[in-house]
Amino acid sequence: MCGIIGIVASSNNNIVDEIIAGLEKLEYRGYDSAGVAVICSDRIERVRAAGKLQNLKTKLESNKISGSVGIGHTRWATHGKATENNAHPIMSRDVAVVHNGIIENYKELKFDLQKEGYIFETDTDTEVVAHLLQREINNGCSPLETFKNIMKLIEGSYAIAAVFSSFPNTIVAAKYRCPLAVGFGENIYIGSDINSMSACGEVVYLEDGECVEVTGDNALFFDTNFQPIEPKRQKVSPDFVNVGKGEYGHYMLKEIMEQPSAIRRTILSNKIDGEIFNGVSRILILACGTSYYAGMVAKYWFEKFLKIATDVEIASEYRYRHPIIGENVLAIAITQSGETIDTLEAMEHVRKNSNSKVIAIANVRNSAISRISDFIFYTEAGMEIGVASTKAFTAQLTILAQMAFCNHEFLIRELQNLPTLCEEVLSSSKEIEDLAKKIHTANSAIYLGRGSLYPIALEGALKLKEVSYIHAEGFAAGEMKHGPIALIDDNIPVICLCPHNELFEKTSSNIQVALARGKNVIIFSDLPGSKLLPSEATKIILPRISEEFAPILHVIPLQLLTYYVALLRGTDVDKPRNLAKSVTVE
């Protein structure tokens, strides 16, 4: 969740501006404070600030620092409030540390360090790492030896990078269950993801327990036993370098508009062979957040077209309830980043407790999930910078549709037409923008859907909550009368998804019930002129398509609606408060 950037320059050039540029490219991950530390004349100079990165940049204007070796960090608070004092890098006299993850045994380590006389100045778990490294330096250890010794002590998840005033040309870094990569270009870089290292042509992804020591123009890699290794360098894909917002005011709008091309690329890049389902008695889908809702849609598709019982599990809960996995199960994990810790842990649980095949769906190549799955399908959405997932979600649905319809040639052929229809929906964005003006002052909203549109109602409500901060809830339309109906009045928008499918008349009746209790009812449907759709409601008409693809087509106007509502409310559309793009801690 936090962002790490480290640079060892090949010359004596000042790298502070380049560290800040790297942090800017990590903003999308989510953060609430930031800081930078560099080695300057055998001492560590550090500047930190709470809040946006601009606050750090402002402080650097009046507190200029300079160095050719340094680390930077954007922090998303876990232990300790989002204050300047708790911002990283965290220091202990001769050491500065940046850390992503959680040190689970930090209280015990802190107690022991305090008994030895170490003074703690922050509320973070990371400070124990700084003091542990300092203790090893005091004992005469080299930077690499300090990491070798402390990695035996700390428990939890971490990506750690450190600089040492007594070793001014060196950065040492290590990882366990948090992403970390080393990039090679004019300088050598260490970062949470390759987006922060766009100046690099090649990259090495560290595996769990591995460590790297960067000195000057040399990077030495070590395995879990601290034996030297020579990992393979990989070319940096231009699809995963942040190329900017282009003509758009926000990444979110740009990424919404990129969905037709993302769906096309995903269709072309993935050919699903129905043999993967041979002998499968049950499908288990593991995911979190928006990816979980994609899995919920897939459940409807899989059971109808594959005739295989399917369960969808919230990954963060799955392994804690002692689940019964059973025989002949196919597990499918869905994650945009490929680094979502809850999904990774759930997959590991399946691996350790069954002989199930594990398939992954992810948007990022060489991510952690690719290393623990039997097979992986990649969504071809390209880099998604906006925290609220849009194009990655529809690309996930596209692959899941390819799986579900793999034995139905007509539906696979019709899937080819989906990008064109998505473009048609996007061309009516002005209509959605006008609709946003009618609901942006609401305090709450209700989303209703039935069948495979129920998860889309949940996703629509999630997007509105994430980006506009309006409280919103999604419900199965048939469940409205079992409680949620009490919320409806003239002020609360009721957003109804009503495609022409086998549940059309049922959903229409639910809409009438809502309209009898409130006047702010909005309908998204692909059946214009139907007498079953009340004239008093506001209607947005979508293109006609096979009912199986309605979830993909209906979610796009909901994304646009969220964007325009958030714009009117003046929120930070691309970086909503408290949220992180990639959730790498529990």
Cβ atoms of 153 and 95 closer than 8 Å: no
Is there a contact between 69 and 7 (Cβ–Cβ < 8 Å)?
A: yes
Pairing label, strands 282-287, 309-314: parallel
Active site residues: 2, 581
For residues 252 and 248, give the distance between their C-alpha atoms in angstroms, rounded to a whole number: 9
CA dihedral over 369, 339, 419, 456, signed as positive or negative: positive
Contacts (Cβ under 8 Å, ≥6 apart) of 301? 400, 401, 403, 404, 405, 452, 548
Q: Where are the beta strands (DSSP E) in 104-254?
A: 156-164, 167-176, 181-184, 188-191, 202-205, 211-215, 218-222, 228-229, 234-235
User: Helices 391-404 and 259-269, interaxial angle, to 10°?
Assistant: 40
Q: Which helix (H) or strand (E) holds 317?
A: helix 315-318
DSSP letter string over 211-234? EEEEETTEEEEE-TT--EE-PPPE
Give CA 346 to chain center in angstroms. 17
